[in-house]
Amino acid sequence: MESKSLEEIDLNYLRIAVSIARQARAHGNHPFGALLVSNRGQSLLQAENTVITEHDCTCHAEMNLVRLASRRFSPHELADTTLYTSTEPCPMCSGAIYWSGVRRVVYALSARSLYRLTGSNSGLNLPHSRAILDVGGIEVCGPALEDEALSVHVGFWSTPERD
């Protein structure tokens, strides 16, 4: 689906997602964060990346958020929410978002910008998140606030054990 322009409220929620990413980094994890917001503007849930501390490669922020949300809300309720995330969702997370029923995703940092920072080409050949989310008619908005979102990653990916 075509992205709509973002409103100031969207940018505020993106900043919260970036703040959650900063918390993830402070907790020893990859710097990614996600936030679920109702169509009335109520913050419902938040989750950070826990890949390192949980020793589980599937514990991306968006996956953690979708797991929490799916336990608490029906797909019908999730259809009236927006998932804000500090970085464009990967294909795994995009699939989970698709199956959850969330109908709108807003992200700050593009995957391409992240891969440029990390020096990794590994993710560039993966399906783009929009290719997966578009199948379900999910509105995707982003990137936005890339410089702010990128700042959380600076220096994190420079050590080999972080990859």
Active site residues: 62
- How many CA atoms within 13 Å lie on the side-chain side of 5? 2
Concatenate the DSSP letters of all residues of 86-103 into one string. Answer: EEPPPHHHHHHHHHHT--
Give the closest residue to 93 by CA, choosing from 54, 143, 125, 127. Answer: 127
